[in-house]
Amino acid sequence: EGLVQVDAEQTVEFVNDRFCEMTGYCRDELIGKANFHEIFLDEEGKRLVAEANEERRKGLSGHYEVRLKRKDGEVLWMIVGGAPIINADGEVIGTM
């Protein structure tokens, strides 16, 4: 499974090797990038991610299917499962 962790501002903090293999991007191209999903998504995908991010900010997990564009331009369908990262004070500080 490809894994991505972002902070509350949607800046990439972590990606695993599998996510890099799936998308064609290396870790250095993604770590520290804000709103990284915009390089992968069409307008429908951006809308789905925005809605999902609102749910994460409320502390809710969820799943959705999205079409990504790999670095080489190939289309990749992906099922995304997002879960909020919550600190000891109960604040949502990111998403995995």
Three-class SS state of 22 = helix
Predicted local distance difference test score (pLDDT) of residue 49? 86
CB 22 within 8 A of CB 76: yes
Does the pLDDT of residue 32 top 90, yes or no?
yes
- Neighbour count for residue 37 (Cβ, 10 Å): 21
Does the pLDDT of residue 81 top 90, yes or no?
yes
Token duo for residue 23: 């998308």
Token duo for residue 43: 């307008």
The pTM for the full model equals 0.86
